Amino acid sequence: MVQFSRHSVFRMIGGALLASAMALPAAAQQAGSATLDAIRARGTLICGVNAGLAGFAQPDSQGVWRGFDVDYCRAVAVALFNDASKVRYVPTTAQNRFTALQSGEVDMLSRNTTLTLSRDTSLGFDFPAISFYDGQGFMVKTSLGVRTARELDGATICVQPGTTTEQNLTDWSRANRVRFTPVVIERLEDLVNAFVAGRCDAFTTDVSGLAATRAVQARPADYTILPDVISKEPLGPLVRHGDQRFSDLVRWIHFGLVAAEEFGITAANVQEAAASDARPEVQRMLGKNGDLGRMLGVDNVWLVNVLRATGNYGEMFDRSLTPIGIQRGPNALWTTPGGLQYAPPFR
């Protein structure tokens, strides 16, 4: 009988575990690939976006889609094809966005959609990352003289149906004994027009949406966003359950954008950083060392390509959201007091 020492047994077990761990990435790449396979076969990502929300998703005068959420679509296309133009944008409403994703009309949603338990489970979606921390608020005409949401007792309030906003409004009014009459309109453009025309005393949605709406009015000063924030609204891209490889890719694109800002890597200096930055994590992120891209099913320099096209998280924010008056707040990096944006290690 062959005799093994305790140390040799431990070495054998350790070697077997290491071999299994090294085999996992290759096996994982074979699972849950239906969406990625479909995207690659057609050569284009189909991305569901808001039908028009300043700073987040809106076509410019030339019909080119621009905005913070649009940049996430572009980043996915770059990671897959190294081409930011390989995206077809599908405008979606609060009512039809989930059907569009469930049915396969779009590959992903990148629009102001809140992560909730029911959406993450019973609707069959995954939220790979929280790209924007928000909360629900109220906007009124400055001439109304209202200073807090509690002063809206008896008011008419414009709200979109089929949203967390509608339920939050009902919950908040009951808890605070504030009576209101809802004006429920599906299309955001029509809802805003109703508010501007005076059909309702207040308009409620995520604070970022209120800021975006106010920014595009002819006289923004005529509108006041009240200081009350009545909910937590963690917003982010959505994919279908079961598309784990695709979910992983979208998740780590977000983390890559955040980590790049933390390391000071920008669209302007990413090529230089890829060539000469000696920090070990930066070398792994940018594909100089390790096989992290291959684990995601893309080129190892995927993040270099993404950053060249979109810039880092802070650059995306400053390009699209800062100009319309949206502050970083909780969307600042974790190294800033109050900041929540934070990327796990690239290793």
Asked if pLDDT for residue 5 goes beyond 90, the answer is no
- What's the pLDDT at 28? 42
Among 119-123, 252-256, 277-281, which stretch is predicted with the lowest mean pLDDT?
119-123
The mean per-residue pLDDT over the stretch 61-90 comes to 97
Among 17-26, 176-185, 192-201, 253-262, which stretch is predicted with the lowest mean pLDDT?
17-26
The mean per-residue pLDDT over the stretch 102-119 comes to 95
Asked if pLDDT for residue 24 goes beyond 60, the answer is no
Average pLDDT, the chain: 91
User: Structural domains in the chain?
Assistant: 34-133+235-331 (3.40.190.10), 136-231 (3.40.190.10)
- Nearest Cα residue to 236 out of 344, 120, 338: 120
DSSP symbol at 216: T
pLDDT tens for 172-215 read: 999 999 999 999 998 889 999 999 999 999 999 999 999 999 99
Asked if pLDDT for residue 336 goes beyond 70, the answer is yes
DSSP 3-state assignment of 234? strand
Return the exposure string of 155-166: e unless at least 16 CB atoms fall within 10 Å of the residue's CB, then b. bbbbbbeebbbb
pLDDT tens for 220-244 read: 999 999 999 999 999 999 999 988 9
- What's the pLDDT at 162? 83
Asked if pLDDT for residue 143 goes beyond 70, the answer is yes
Q: What angle do CA 232, 243, 296 make, to 5 degrees?
A: 95
Q: In which band, very low, low, confident or very high, does the pLDDT at 94 lie, cut at 50, 70 and 90?
A: confident
DSSP 3-state assignment of 223? strand
Please give the structure tokens belonging to residue 241.
């359950």
- What's the pLDDT at 20? 44
The mean per-residue pLDDT over the stretch 12-20 comes to 44
Q: In which band, very low, low, confident or very high, does the pLDDT at 95 lie, cut at 50, 70 and 90?
A: confident
Q: 290: alpha, beta or left, given left = phi > 0 and alpha = psi -120 to 50?
A: left
Q: What percent of the chain has pLDDT over 90?
A: 86
Q: In which band, very low, low, confident or very high, does the pLDDT at 167 lie, cut at 50, 70 and 90?
A: very high
The mean per-residue pLDDT over the stretch 319-343 comes to 96
The mean per-residue pLDDT over the stretch 281-286 comes to 98
- What's the pLDDT at 232? 95
SS3 content of the chain, % helix, strand, coil (to 5): 45, 15, 40
Cα distance between residue 30 and residue 245, in whole Å: 9
Cα distance between residue 53 and residue 213, in whole Å: 7
Using a cut of 0.85, tell me whether the model's pTM lies above it.
Answer: yes
Alpha-helix runs per DSSP H in the chain: 6-28, 34-42, 68-81, 97-103, 117-120, 164-176, 188-196, 207-215, 244-262, 270-276, 280-285, 292-295, 302-310, 313-320
Q: Confirm if 80 and 86 have CB atoms less than 8 A apart.
A: yes
